[in-house]
Amino acid sequence: MNSVRVLARWDTRAVLRDRWFVSAAAAFGALTLAAAALALASPPIAGLSSFDRITATLIHLTMLFAPLLGLTAGAGWIAGERETGALVTLLSQPLQRTELFAGKYLGVARALLAAMLVGFGTAGMLLAARVGTDRLPAFLWLVVLALVLAVASLSLGFLLSATAPNRSRALGAALLAWLVLVIVSDLGILGTALILRLPAPVVLVLAALNPVSAFRMAAILGVSGTAELLGPVGLYAGERLGPAGLMAALCAVLVFWAAGAYYAGRIRFTRVVET
């Protein structure tokens, strides 16, 4: 366990010095702040409050950036060290492969969560200063969901990295996964539902299986307190499961992705042959 802590501490330090990660995290922070400022400055639309406008913007930003940051940071990490040979030196030390995987995962996760908290923190402070703290719990819930989505994406990134021979191939797979999760998946479900006239429960399950969609639905549900904004499928789910049940199911999907991809990656990593 001590090895896991040691690796996590040093890997966090190494990630926070990685130019790509720092650039992506800075871009997320800047965009979050800019989006919050713009949403506050724009006139009210269709009765939406400043808080609603900010959270709607943040939800969309998170859907783009949290998977991108998590997938690329995770995918590049182990594969990058495999490519340079640094992984072999670490594996020659008196520790289990599972400890190495866990330490590296925790190290990157800490850096990722810190970067996201900085981004959300600045937006949160702006929100508190301009709108007040009445809706702070809803905002904090959005932050928690965003962090869980980032961790789920990181797990997926580590799964891709576990056996990838080099950083570029792992990053390529990560970007493909990002494209599928963020863009292709929703369009695919939409098209399939229209063509095959899929029933609402099937559409709901298909959509909720995607962690990005699960995050979006959970965030909208958490911020608005109702499933009405989720459309007909959301209404159906709300009626069947109730808002709390739907929220629990969506959170379970996110946690499943975070834990499931982590363990799948760990299994693959323990079996891979370092050539």
Partner 1 sequence: MIRLAGVTVAYGRRAILRGVDLEIPRGKRVAIVGPNGAGKTTLIRTLLALAPFSGTATIGGFDARREGPRARALVGYVPQTPSFPGTLTAAEVVALFQELRGLPADPLPLLRTVGLEDAADSAVRTLSGGMVRRLALAVARIGDPPVWLLDEPTSQLDAEGERLVLDWLDAAGQEGRTVLLATHQLDGLDGVVDRVVLLEAGRIIAAAELPALHARRWVEVVTVPPAPAGLPAAAQVLAASNGRLRLRVPEAVLAEAVRALGRRPLRIHEPRLEDLLRDPYRLLHEGDL
Residues that bind partner 1 (CB under 8 A): 2-3, 6-7, 10-11, 13-14, 17-18, 81, 84-86, 88-96, 273-275
For the CB of residue 220, give the shortest distance to partner 1 in the complex, in Å.
38
Task: State which residue, 3 or 163, has the beta carbon closest to partner 1.
Answer: 3
Nearer residue to partner 1 within complex by CB, 84 or 168:
84
Q: How far is the CB of 167 from partner 1 (least distance, A)?
A: 11
DSSP one-letter string for 30-50: HHHHHHHHHHHHSPP-TT--H
Smallest separation, CB 198 to partner 1 (Å): 44
Amino acid identity of residue 132, one-letter, is: G
Nearer to partner 1, 11 or 52 (CB): 11
* Smallest gap from residue 266 Cβ to partner 1 (A): 16
Shortest Å distance, C-beta 73 to partner 1: 13
Which of 33, 81, 31, 39 is closest to 56 using CA atoms? Answer: 39
**Closer of 91 and 175 to partner 1 (Cβ):** 91
Taking Cα atoms as reference points, which of 32, 22, 102, 110 lies closest to residue 65? 32
- How far is 63 from 215, CA to CA, in rounded Å? 8
Cβ proximity to partner 1: between 106 and 249 the closer is 106
Residue 169's alpha-carbon distances to 25, 75, 108, 162, 244, in angstroms, are 22, 9, 19, 12, 41
Maximum CA pair distance of the chain? 62
**Structure tokens that stand for 109 in this block:** 């996760």
Nearest to partner 1 of 236, 269 (CB atom): 269
104-130: burial string, b at 16+ Cβ within 10 Å, e else: bbbbbbbbbbebbebbbebbbebbeee
Q: CA-CA distances (angstroms) from residue 211 to 104, 111, 224?
A: 23, 21, 20
CB of 98 to partner 1, least distance (A): 11
CB of 102 to partner 1, least distance (A): 13
Residue nearer to partner 1 on the CB measure, 13 or 60:
13
Q: How far apart are CA 245 and CA 251, in angstroms?
A: 10
